[in-house]
Amino acid sequence: MSEIMQEKETTLYLGPQHPGITGNMMIELKVTGDTVQRGRTHVGYLHRGFEKLMEERLWMQCFPIVCRICVPEPDPNEENLARGIEEIEGREVPERAKYIRTMVLELSRMATYLLWMGGQSGSAGLYTMPQWTVGDRDYIIDLFEELTGGRVYHMYIWAGGVRRDLPDGFAGRVRKVLDYLEERLTDYDRLLFENAVFLKRAQGVGIIDKNKAEEWGVVGPPLRGCGIAHDVRKDEPYEVYDKLDWEVITHEGSDVYSRAMVRRKEFEQSISIVRQVLDKMPEGPVYNPGPNPLKWKVPAGDAYVRTESARGEFGYYVVSDGSLKPRRVHVRGPAYVHGVSLLEKMLKGMNIADVSFIMNSLGTCPPEIER
Amino acid sequence: MSTQFAIEEELKQSINNAFRSAKVTIKRQGRINVEFRSGILPAFVSYLKEYLDFKHLVMMSCVDWLEDNEFEIVYHLWSYDHKVHIMVKVRLDREKPVMQSISKLWDQAETYEREIHEMNGVEFEGHPGMRDFILEDWEDLPPMRRDFKTREFVDKTYEWRTGREDKQDVRETIAKQYDTEVPDFKNSK
């Protein structure tokens, strides 16, 4: 009899490069036949030591570092660090800057969801979708390029506001892209969210125990996909989210499909949020200047700030000892829990083909696990 | 009692009633700091989890206070019901940092403890499997300690790219390669 017939365990190394994630991460799987018995995650391929690096940089020099912590979604990092410093310093942010920040965060959420749609359908074998969504994501990235000068890493939000005001006619161009994306959503529905292949692969797969989800540290779309309505934007409103009209989106089912539907509806909601922001945006300054960046000392103290990123709660714990450089900046990425301890629990009894599919639905992002 | 921080004041009262030694301060709306001694920390966080509804372990941080010769471990907990974030801070002796593991209370604490063990060298008693997390076969000083010198480590471990030895001007090397002169880039005023 062959080994598989005897139900002997085989070790399968998945990764470091595989389609489930944006980055490099290896999973060691113990399999019998096609079924995963248990798995262990191995990270360490992307450790760049950003937190250590920041201890030797001026406060201003930290902003180009933090945005590199998460590659597909850099803006929550910048916003978090800026807000953390503002909280310690007690620096006021002009109203217009808050609106611009909200717009940038929502645009970045949409760009991340587009990338996720591509990854999710790609790992299910639907290869048209990645081509479309990555192409459409470029329209948002073009907007970022015009606004900030950078396509992927923006370094646009900084302590006290944002770097510069919107260019002339920018709002109109944003609206045009939003209209286009809204129209495009029907195509995505047909190609992915109502696709029989996707439904077959996603429904009832990758179930998170709903009663344990809060305790396990599940956040963001996976938590809302369990029907639990927690969103940092509502729980602890930051920037101008409390002045806008929107609802927390949930979906029952706790499987890959419900997580996908949460993201799909949030994508639609983000379009409406950006439109509201553009409508309500007041005139005024966009930056409240601080001291000379070379002599900028942040008073001693600490602050924890959080943002709802496209994958869940993104948090920064900023500690200052009153010197020119940060004492400690600790980053909490949602994938830290989703990609390691939650995934190891979920791997049991999974099919090998579903591993990368489920990793994608959890939004595993190794760059933020390792920083 | 001010009405502004009603929930926070209430939580402070409950914590002080149960644990006299906890030093509770309200930082702002939705933020509470607790300074605590290390001995009975698992009991304290399990009290927060079971009785005061701090179900969500946000993260665990470790701050190195080299001048005080102490590590500060910070447990970040969030209550979805009260909408309050609590930071439990524990100071450890830097010479022999030992802490009890809370991985029985939260599974994800296991990962955080592995990282703090690796990056700061803090021992966790009762941890189910203390293996490498990010670094592999690391034998140097734990890298997130403040007395770990990054530059010295880089000099010791890596080789500089050729053309950059002895603080040599890299433009000269390039100019030599292309058989030209170094252009004069002085800023004119």
A338-359 tens-digit pLDDT = 888 888 888 888 888 888 888 8
Domain ranges for chain B: 6-139, 149-182
pLDDT score of A180 more than 90: yes
Beta bridge partners of B23: B35
B108 CB neighbours in chain A (<8 A) are: 216-217, 336-337, 340-342
Q: What percent of chain A has pLDDT over 70?
A: 97
A330 CB neighbours in chain B (<8 A) are: 59, 61
Q: CATH number of B6-139: 3.40.50.880, 3.30.460.80, 3.30.70.20, 3.90.180.10?
A: 3.30.460.80
The per-residue pLDDT for A106 is: 92
Residue A5's pLDDT band (boundaries 50, 70, 90)? low
Residue in A47, A53, A315 closest to B134 by CB: A47
- C-alpha to C-alpha distances, A152 to A74, A110, A140, B138, B161, nearest whole angstrom: 8, 13, 10, 33, 28
Give mean pLDDT, residues B7-28: 81
Give mean pLDDT, residues A299-307: 90
The alpha carbon of residue B46 and the mean position of all alpha carbons in its chain are separated, in whole angstroms, by 21
Between CA A195 and CA A199 the distance in angstroms is 6
| Nearest of A157, A319, A311 to residue A239 by alpha carbon | A157
pLDDT score of A116 more than 50: yes
The per-residue pLDDT for A139 is: 92
**Percent of residues in chain A assigned helix, strand, coil, to nearest 5:** 50, 15, 40
Does residue B71 sit at the A interface (CB-CB below 8 Å)? no
- C-alpha to C-alpha distances, A3 to A7, A29, A151, A370, nearest whole angstrom: 6, 16, 51, 37
pLDDT score of A152 more than 70: yes
Taking an 8 Å cut-off on Cβ atoms, the answer to whether B111 and A217 are in contact is no
Does residue B155 sit at the A interface (CB-CB below 8 Å)? no
Give mean pLDDT, residues A88-94: 89
The per-residue pLDDT for B3 is: 62
Task: Report the residue count for chain A.
Answer: 371
- C-alpha to C-alpha distances, B152 to A277, A328, A342, B157, nearest whole angstrom: 49, 20, 38, 9
Burial class, B84, CB count within 10 angstroms (exposed 0-12 / middle 13-18 / buried 19+):
buried
Higher pLDDT, residue A312 or A3 = A312
Residues B60 and B76 sit within 8 Å (Cβ to Cβ): yes
pLDDT score of B189 more than 50: no
Give mean pLDDT, residues B7-22: 81
Mean model confidence pLDDT for chain B = 82
Report the range out of A362-371, B33-42, B77-86 with the highest average pLDDT. Answer: B77-86
The per-residue pLDDT for A176 is: 92
The per-residue pLDDT for A102 is: 92
Angle formed by the axes of helices A170-188 and A128-148, nearest 10°: 170
Burial class, A284, CB count within 10 angstroms (exposed 0-12 / middle 13-18 / buried 19+):
exposed
Does residue A216 sit at the B interface (CB-CB below 8 Å)? yes
pLDDT score of A132 more than 50: yes
The per-residue pLDDT for B179 is: 82
Taking an 8 Å cut-off on Cβ atoms, the answer to whether A44 and B134 are in contact is yes
Between CA B87 and CA B65 the distance in angstroms is 17
Give mean pLDDT, residues A9-32: 80
Beta bridge partners of A305: A316
Q: Which amino acid is at A29?
A: L
Sign, CA torsion B47/A340/A368/B115: positive
Mean model confidence pLDDT for chain A = 87
Beta bridge partners of A161: A158, A287
Residues A321 and A77 sit within 8 Å (Cβ to Cβ): no
**Which long-range CB contacts under 8 A does A6-13 form with residues at least 24 apart?**
A7/A32, A7/A33, A8/A32, A9/A37, A12/A352
Q: CATH number of A60-332: 1.10.3720.10, 1.10.645.10, 3.30.470.20, 3.90.1150.10?
A: 1.10.645.10
Query: What is the side-by-side strand order in the sheet with A35-42?
Result: A10-14, A26-32, A35-42
Give mean pLDDT, residues B132-137: 82
Mutation site, B134, B146, B151, B153, interface A, largest A CB count within 10 A: B134
Between CA A76 and CA B29 the distance in angstroms is 22
ipTM reported for the complex, 2 dp: 0.84
User: What digits encode the pLDDT tens for the residues A31-40?
Assistant: 888 888 888 8
Count Cβ neighbours within 10 Å for each residue of B124-152 and write b for 16 or more, e otherwise.
beebeeeeebbbeeeeeebbbbbebeeee
The per-residue pLDDT for A16 is: 80
Between CA B157 and CA A80 the distance in angstroms is 34
Taking an 8 Å cut-off on Cβ atoms, the answer to whether B135 and A44 are in contact is yes
The per-residue pLDDT for A174 is: 92
Rounded to 10 degrees, what is the CA torsion of A170, A102, A362, A126? -20
What is the radius of gyration, based on Cα positions, of chain A?
A: 21
Whether the link from the prior residue into A16 is cis, omega within 30° of 0, is: yes
Between CA A370 and CA A119 the distance in angstroms is 21
User: What digits encode the pLDDT tens for the residues A245-298?
Assistant: 888 888 888 889 999 999 999 999 999 999 999 999 898 888 888 888 788 888
Higher pLDDT, residue B139 or B189 = B139
Domain ranges for chain A: 60-332
Task: Report the chain A residue with the minimal C-alpha distance to residue B133.
Answer: A43
Residues B153 and B128 sit within 8 Å (Cβ to Cβ): no
B136 CB neighbours in chain A (<8 A) are: 44
| Nearest of A200, A204, A195, A219 to residue A255 by alpha carbon | A204
Q: SS3 for chain B, per residue?
A: CCCCCHHHHHHHHHHHHHCCCCEEEEEECCEEEEEECCCCHHHHHHHHHHHCCCCEEEEEEEEEECCCCEEEEEEEEEECCCCEEEEEEEEEECCCCEEECCCCCCCCHHHHHHHHHHHHCCEEECCCCCCCCCCCCCCCCCCCCCCCCHHHHHHHHCCCCCCCHHHCCHHHHHHHHCCCCCCCCCCCC
What is the radius of gyration, based on Cα positions, of chain B?
A: 24
Higher pLDDT, residue A16 or A320 = A320
The per-residue pLDDT for A273 is: 92
The per-residue pLDDT for A39 is: 86
Give mean pLDDT, residues A223-246: 88
pLDDT score of B187 more than 60: no
User: What digits encode the pLDDT tens for the residues B145-173?
Assistant: 888 888 888 888 887 776 666 666 677 77
- C-alpha to C-alpha distances, A87 to A54, A93, A161, A238, B43, nearest whole angstrom: 19, 10, 13, 12, 31
The per-residue pLDDT for B166 is: 62
Burial class, A158, CB count within 10 angstroms (exposed 0-12 / middle 13-18 / buried 19+):
buried
